[in-house]
Structure 1
Amino acid sequence: MDKIPQKLVKSLMELGLLESEAKIYIALTIMDHAEVKELINILGLSKPNIYEGLRMLEEKGLVVLINTRPMAYQAIPPEIGLEMLLKTHLDAKKEAKKIFSTLDKEEFVEKSSEALFQVYGEKSIDYKIKDMLNSATESVFMISSFQYLKYIKNLSKNLKFDITIFSEGNPTEQEINEFFANYEGNFQIISEKNAINMYSSKITNPEEFKEYKEALSMFEYRNMMVLMIDDSEIMYVLPFSQDTLSAFNTKNKSLITLMKLGLKNISHQLAEN
């Protein structure tokens, strides 16, 4: 049936109908009512598909049987049918939300907390940063570019902060210091250039020195962030220039302990340079 708009079929499918159900419902609204054999001929669907589609539509309250011999159906007007479909979705959302809230999270935490997760995309990373910081009750350790400081702006001043910021001219060191003015903790600023020189200076072999320095110079410090809260969860946003940001996140105690020692050692080295 060429008269059925595919965009309308797609819209109904997004509201929960199968393609065959959507086509049957649209055909019945156009024709007002129709016998089963007419729907088979017009839509080109198999007899079993038509009968199953009508059964499901009737179950959803979108069509009614108006004659048994021969079998004929009539569609509920679209202005009512669409509201019924939408209500079904909203009710399902409400029920799912209710069930999610009653799940025993402890059963999952013990099994999954040791895992190393990868977080993809700017929105997902943004959500995860906010979620971690909102969960912090004791401490926040961060090595990052200036762009991530916005996330700690409204955090409790009672937290213990240990923050190192990479900056290269913009914003100025004064602006960063002004940002830290109302916080207590260990705050330091390091230029990207000094960071590169610090790491590469530890290599004595000339060839390795050159390669290492070139590799570090390719880092996109603007994207980089290491965030650890309460020494119990850590996330590392990779410092690479790419279309989609990605990060690693874990609550693995052993991994966090090793990373914490390494990161705090780096932080101290940066402070000394």
Structure 2
Amino acid sequence: MNEQDSQVQTLVTLGLNCRQAKVYLHLVNSGMSAVKAISQGTRIAQQHIYKIVSTLSEQGLVQKCLTVPATFKATPIEIGLSMLMEQKNKEYTKMKADTTNLLSTFKKQDMKATVKQEDPQFIMISGIKPRFSKITSSFENARKTVESMIPWYDFQAGANYAADHYKIVLDRGVHLRYIVDVPPEKNQFEKIIEPLMQHPCFEIRYIPPLVPALFVMFDEQEVGISKSSTNAIETPDLWVTNPSVISMIHEYFEMMWTTAIKPSQINQ
């Protein structure tokens, strides 16, 4: 982009169209020109020049001189740019006010909707990114407990990928209890998750393969359930906040926890 194109673009940004910008710059540089000279200097047809200088005159950027033939001169560039900036600021102020009003209107509508509607107690979440975002948010918001039944390989992958995240939750005093199926290489598995096992707020127990269900429960307030323990990555999750359903899942977890085997009770 050469200097002239850059100057034209600046004026376009300030509110002129391309032809208006070219005519105004031509008059700034020439001092005073007739329609024919403006047309030749800007390569814009004469029939368009009359319309353009009329519009620029209405904006205060061009003055018509009483000569024969009629000539036109530009308002000095400092004044012209100041006028365009002032107009742009007025437009921005109005746009900002309109945006604020629009946002306020929707906020009021949201407040009314909140009063009228309760949050859904059953939600399906599909896609790896949305599911990961939801479970990450739930971990961050957990205050007391996280209880989960999950295949050992999924837990191992999560412990590897989000070790620091687990530590933050545990250091916050949140108690994590996991039930997993016995991994084929138990010693290797426990070596990988050793930093978690050493934390006083973390417990893990084993059940025979395969896990009968896959879920994670937060503070006994919400639970995420996977439809499949063998294809969990590709299946959607059901998230539940219904108290009755959560109560049943919590009782099921406690029953499984009671019968599950502690790591020290398995020899391998």
Q: What's the TM-score once normalised by structure 1's chain length?
A: 0.48
When Rg is computed on C-alpha atoms for both structures, the one with the higher figure is 2
Normalised TM-score (structure 2): 0.49
